[in-house]
Structure 1
Amino acid sequence: MTPVVATPSPSRQRRRILQATIIVLVVLLGNLPYVGSWASDQYDQWQSHKPDYMRANGRWDIVADSGSRSIHAAMLRTGKVLLMAGSGNDKKNFDAKRFETVLWDPVANTFQKIYTPWDVFCAGHAFLPNGELLIAGGTKAYEVLAQDSPDGKKKEYKGLKDAYLFDPILERFVRTGFLQHARWYPTLVTLANGAVVAVSGLNENGDIDPGNTESYSAASASWIEHPDLRKEFPTYPSLLLAADGRLFFSGANAGYGPASLAARQSGLWNLTNNNFQTVPGLPLPEVNETAGTVMLAPAQDQKVMFIGGGGVGDTQVATDRTAIVDLSRPAPAWVRGPDLSSPKRYPGAVVLPDDTVLVSGGSRRYRAKDTLTAEIYNPVTNTFRQVADPHVGRDYHSEYLLLPDGRVAVFGSNPLSDDNTFDTRVEVYSPPYLYAGTRPVVQGAPTAVTRGTTISFRTSQQVGKVRLIRPGAYTHVTDTEQRSVALPITAQSNGTVTVSVPANPNVLPGDWYMLFVDNGANVPSVATWVQVAQ
C-alpha cells in the first residue's frame, strides 16, 4: 500500500519560511560587526588587486613569516637579507643566551638560521667597501625597573665592546677588534676612506656616552680612538656623509640621550677639527625623537628630508611635519616640507629607483601599533600622495629595505603590550612602477667601477636615467647607508648606454651598489650589483 504523505498547507509553509528568515536575520544582526568587517575586507582585497588600482597605488603582500624578532636588517650584495635579532628584546632569551639571526632569500623565500655568538640586540652597523657588514656593540645587560630592583633604583641597559663582521659569501659572523668604548644604541657611519665612525650609545654601566669618538680600520681590524673628536649625541643619532666630507646630524634619534637642545641640535660635524656648524630652522625641534631621515635622490643634490617624529622618551606626542635642507648651500637651513597624511613616530622611509620616497608604517603614539598608511613623496613636485595601505602595522623595532627587484620589504614591529607582542611577518610593497609596462633589461654592466671614469652597458630599451643605490642597513629608524647616486648619461645609441661615474668619494663611498636604469617613463630594471672601488 502506498503511504500517504501529508502536504503542508500554504499558510504553514509561509510560517516556516518566515521563521527561518527571522533566524537568519537575528544571526546576521548579532554578528553584524564581523559580517561587515569580512565584507569590507573582501571588497578591499578585490579592489587592491585590480590592474588600474595597482598601476596607481601599488600593492602590499604578506609573503612569509620569518619566525624571528628582527631588530636589524641589512641588504647584502648577494641579494639576501640579514635579519638580526639577538635576544630580540626578550630577557628570557638573553638569560638563556639564545641569540638569533636569520638570512632571508627573497627569491626562494626561504630562511636560514645563522649562528650568532653574542647579543647583537641594539648594536650599530655599517657596510665596509668590500660588502661585509660591520656590527659593533650590543647588549651586556637588560634594564631592571625600579619596582624589580633590590635597591629600588632603575638600572638601564648596558652596552658591549664586541664587534663582528658578517661575511655575505661565507654567510657567517667573524669576530674583529673590540670597541674602545662599550656601546648600546650606537650609530655607525662609513666615511669616504672606508673607515667607519662609531658614536653614542649606553656604556657598560648604562650611562650615555659623553662624546667619545672612535673609528674602525679594516686594514688593522681594530678601533682607533679620537680624543680630539668629542661630540655628544643622543642614542642612534641619524648621521649622513655629506659631499664635503662632514657628517650631517639631522637631529633625529631614537631612545636615550641628553635632554639639552644643544646635544640634539642639527648640524654639520667636521671630523678634521671637531667644528660643528649648526643647521637652524627645523620646525618643532622638541619632537625630533623617533623621526626618520633620508637623503633625497640624487645624492649629488645634497637634499635631506626629516620625517615625522615625537617627544623625548615615552611621551605620546607625535607630529606629521616634514622638513627639507639643502646641504650644498654655504649656510644650510631647514624649510618645512609637506605634511604627512597623519602624525608618525618610527616612520619607515625608502628611496625608490624612480627618485621618489616611500614613507610607510609608524605610530601615532609611543610604541602604539595603529598606523596602516603608506604614501610616496615626489621631490619634483614636493608633494605626498597616499598609496595602497599595508596589511601590518609597524612601529618600534621595524625595518625597511629596497630589494634588487625594485620592491620594498618590511620586517618587525614591537608595540608596547602586556604580552610583548612582536610581529615576525614579512610584508613586501610593489610600487606602482611595477605595473606600468615592460621593464628594461641591463646586460654587460661591469661588476666593478672606478670613480671619475665612464662605463658602458647594453639595455633592451631607451634609458631615461641611471642610478646607483646603496643597499640599506636599518635599525631604530636609522639607516646611515641609504643613498641614490645619479650616473649622468653621456651617450646612448643602438642599445648601448655610456654613463659617467661621479668622482667625489663623499658622494659615492666605496661599496657594492644596486645599478638601476629606467625606460624614461620611470619604469626601472631589476638591479645589477656593481662594486665601487675604494
Structure 2
Amino acid sequence: MKTTLLHLPSIIFLLSLTLPFLSGAANGRWQLLQKSIGIVAMHMQLLNNDRVIIFDRTDFGLSNLTLPNGRCRHDPTEKALKTDCTAHSVEYDVASNTFRALFVQTDVWCSSGSAVANGTLIQTGGFSDGERKVRMFLPCNNCDWHEMGNALVTRRWYSTNHFLPDGRQIIIGGRRQYNYEFHPKKQSEYKNPYLLPFLVQTNDKGAENNLYPFVFLNVDGNLFIFANNRAILFNYRNGSVLRTYPEIPGGDPRCYPSTGSAVLLPLRNLEAPCVEAEVLVCGGAPRGAFQRRLFSPALDSCARIKITDPKATWTVDTMPRRRVMGDMLVLPNGDVLIINGAHLGTAGWENAKKPVLEPVIYKPNGLVGSRFVLQCATRIPRMYHSTAVLVRDGRVIVGGSNPHVKYVFSNVTYPTELRLEAFSPYYLDPLYSHLRPVIVSPSSHASMRHGEKLRMVFEVNGRVVPELVTATMLAPPFNTHSFSMNQRLLVLSRGKVRSRGNSSCEVVVTAPSSPLLAPPGFYLLFAVHQDIPSEGVWIRMH
C-alpha cells in the first residue's frame, strides 16, 4: 500500500492522458499525439496562436492527406505529378491536438523562414519553381499560405534566415549561393545579392558542409555566422568581417550535410554594461563522411565559445551519445535539449543508420564533464528530415523523418514517418508540481517596449524561494534540418519577489533594453521557480 500511495500522483497523471502510449518518469516522458498527420514534418514553426505550421516538399508525388473541397495543385512543370490533390502542409493546433490541411503551390523543399514582428511566418526559397519564392502565413483562423512570387533576387535552397533589429530578416547562403539578401527589400536591393566570401572559403568540394549555416544575432547587433568548422562576426550592414574566431577543435564539419546543430545560450545580466553571449555547437560528422558514404560514427563532442570575449576560445565537452542530425532546443529554464538524429552517417538520402532514441539535457551552468543528463527513449526513429519545436506548455513537439526520395512505408529499415509525438522534459513530471508557477498576469498577448518594467504575478502550490525565481523570454524558432533559426532565450532582470498571500507572488521584471538584444516580435514569457518553468504567455516586443 505504501508503494501505491507514493506513486499515486504519477498514476493519476498517466490516467489523465488518453493518448496511445507514454513512457519515462522524471527523466522525461513521451506521448503519441497523432498516428498520422499525412505529411512528413520537414519544417516547423510555432505561431503566436499556439498553432504549429508544418510542411514537407511538393515534388515527390502524393502525400497521405487529401486537400479539402476537391482542391488540387496543378503544375505543368512538375516531373513527379502534374495534378496533385494531396496536401504538403498542415496546421497543427496544440490545444486541441487536431490538424488541418493547407495548400502550398510551389516547392518548399529545404527552405527557410522566420516569424517577423507582427507574428506572420515569412518563408523563403525552396527547390525548382519555389527557389525564389517568398510565402506568408498569418496566425489567424482558417488562414492558408499566400505566395508572393519571385521576391528573392537569387535561388535559395538550404539557406538560413535570421530576424534583425529593424524588423527585417536576412537570408544567408544556400546551395551554390555565396551571398545574402534581405526581406523586405529597400529599393536599391532588388537587383543583386550581397557577396559573402566566407561561404566560398568554407565550401568543401563535393560535400559543401556550409549549407544551413548557424547564424545568431550577437548582442552588439552583428551576426555570428558558423559554417563548416569556422565562424566569423559579420557586420551585415556594410558587408565587413569584424573578426574571425578560432577553428572548432578537431576541425570536423558541423553544418549540412555533416549536420550537427547549434544554439545561442541564454542571454543573462541584460542590464550589465557588456552583455555576454555564448554559442554551443554539438554533434556532426567527420570530414569526408558524406563523400565516402561509409556510415562513419558521428561526432560526440560539443564545443562552446564566448563570442563576446576578445580572446574567445572553444571549450569541448563529450555527449553521452554520438549524434548527427540532432536538434537543439533551448528550454524555458535555460537548459538545452538535444533530440533526434543518428549514431552513424550524415544527412542525405539513405545516408544514416542506428537512430539515437534518447534525448539528452545539457545544463549550461554545470561543470564540464557533468553537464549532460540522459533522457528516456522514444520508440520512433527520427532520422533525416525530422524536426522538433517547443510549445507554450513546455512540451516539445517532434515529427518527421524520411530518408527516402519518396514516401516509403514498407520493406525499408527506416520507413517514412508521419506520426507526431510530444516529449515532456523532467520539469513537467508530477514530482515537481508543487514548484511549478502559474502566471496570473500579464495576460496573453500583452505588449512590452524595450526597457519597460512589467509586473508579473504568479502562483505556486507550495512555498516560494524568492532567490530561485527568474523570468525568461523565448523567441520561438523556425526548425528544419537540425537547426532552429532565430532561437533566442533571454533571462530578464528582476526586482524583489513579494508575497501576495499564501500562494501568490509578485515580481517586477525589465524588458531587454534594445532590439539588438530582442528584435521586435512575439515571445513566450515564462516564470521559472527552482528550475521549474510555468506555461508561457505570449508577449509582443515593440
Fold equivalence (TM over 0.5): yes
Correspondent of 1:365 among 319, 335, 344: 344
Contact 1:433 1:523 in 2 (8 A): yes
Correspondent of 2:485 among 472, 480, 485: 480
Corresponding position of 2:19: none
Q: Which AA in structure 2 matches 1:437?
A: S
Contact 1:55 1:433 in 2 (8 A): no
Correspondent of 1:396 among 384, 393, 407: 384
CA distance in 2, matches of 1:498, 1:102: 39
Q: Which AA in structure 1 matches 2:181?
A: E
3-state SS of 1:232 partner: helix
Corresponding position of 2:402: 414
Mapped pair 1:325 → 2:335: no
CA distance in 2, matches of 1:91, 1:187: 26
Residue identity (%) = 26
Q: Mind listing any 5+ residue stretches in structure 2 that lack a counterpart?
A: 1-10, 16-22, 64-77, 201-209, 269-274, 346-351
Deviation at 1:198, TM superposition (A): 1.1
CA distance in 2, matches of 1:363, 1:296: 24
Q: Which AA in structure 2 matches 1:477?
A: S
Mapped pair 1:287 → 2:258: no
3-state SS of 1:465 partner: strand
Mark the CA change 1:490 to 1:496 in structure 2 (over 3 Å): closer, same or farther: same
Corresponding position of 2:539: 530
Greater share of helix residues, 1 or 2?
A: 1
CA distance in 2, matches of 1:216, 1:458: 38
Mapped pair 1:378 → 2:374: no
Corresponding position of 1:514: 524
Mark the CA change 1:223 to 1:131 in structure 2 (over 3 Å): closer, same or farther: farther
1:10-49 map, 5 Å: none
Deviation at 1:287, TM superposition (A): 3.3
Deviation at 1:104, TM superposition (A): 0.7
Mapped pair 1:468 → 2:473: yes
Deviation at 1:226, TM superposition (A): 4.7
CA distance in 1, matches of 2:31, 2:384: 21
Moved more, 466-475 or 407-416: 407-416
Corresponding position of 1:355: 334
- Alpha-carbon RMSD across the aligned residues, in angstroms, is 2.8
CA distance in 1, matches of 2:304, 2:195: 31
CA distance in 2, matches of 1:503, 1:219: 27
Deviation at 1:281, TM superposition (A): 4.2
CA distance in 2, matches of 1:281, 1:200: 20
1:44-443 map, 5 Å: 56-64=26-34, 65-87=36-58, 90=60, 95-96=80-81, 98=84, 100-140=88-128, 160-170=131-141, 171-176=143-148, 178-202=151-175, 208-209=176-177, 211-217=178-184, 225-227=192-194, 231-232=198-199, 234-251=210-227, 265-276=230-241, 277-288=243-254, 289-298=258-267, 301-311=276-286, 312=288, 313=290, 315=293, 316-317=295-296, 318-336=298-316, 338-366=317-345, 367-382=352-367, 383-415=371-403, 421-435=415-429, 436-438=432-434, 439-443=436-440
Q: Mind listing any 5+ residue stretches in structure 1 that lack a counterpart?
A: 1-45, 142-158, 203-207, 253-263
Deviation at 1:343, TM superposition (A): 1.4
Contact 1:86 1:121 in 2 (8 A): yes
Mark the CA change 1:391 to 1:247 in structure 2 (over 3 Å): closer, same or farther: same
CA distance in 2, matches of 1:200, 1:219: 19
- For residues 188-220 of structure 1, the C-alpha deviation after alignment (integer angstroms, 9 at most, x for no partner) is 111111111112223xxxxx11x2321012798
Mark the CA change 1:224 to 1:350 in structure 2 (over 3 Å): closer, same or farther: farther
3-state SS of 1:201 partner: coil
Deviation at 1:235, TM superposition (A): 1.8
Greater share of strand residues, 1 or 2?
A: 2
3-state SS of 1:380 partner: coil
CA distance in 2, matches of 1:225, 1:527: 41
Which protein shows a greater Rg?
Answer: 1
Aligned length: 450
CA distance in 2, matches of 1:200, 1:251: 10
Mapped pair 1:445 → 2:425: no
Corresponding position of 1:22: none
Moved more, 374-383 or 398-407: 374-383
Contact 1:401 1:408 in 2 (8 A): yes
Mark the CA change 1:448 to 1:369 in structure 2 (over 3 Å): closer, same or farther: farther
3-state SS of 1:433 partner: helix
Corresponding position of 1:156: none
Q: TM-score, normalised by structure 2?
A: 0.77
Contact 1:214 1:223 in 2 (8 A): no
Deviation at 1:455, TM superposition (A): 0.8
Contact 1:229 1:271 in 2 (8 A): no
3-state SS of 2:318 partner: coil
Contact 1:250 1:306 in 2 (8 A): no
3-state SS of 1:250 partner: strand
Moved more, 455-464 or 179-188: 455-464
Corresponding position of 1:499: 509
CA distance in 2, matches of 1:225, 1:514: 36
- For residues 279-331 of structure 1, the C-alpha deviation after alignment (integer angstroms, 9 at most, x for no partner) is 11412222322010011123654111101001453542311011001112123
CA distance in 2, matches of 1:223, 1:187: 19
CA distance in 1, matches of 2:515, 2:192: 23
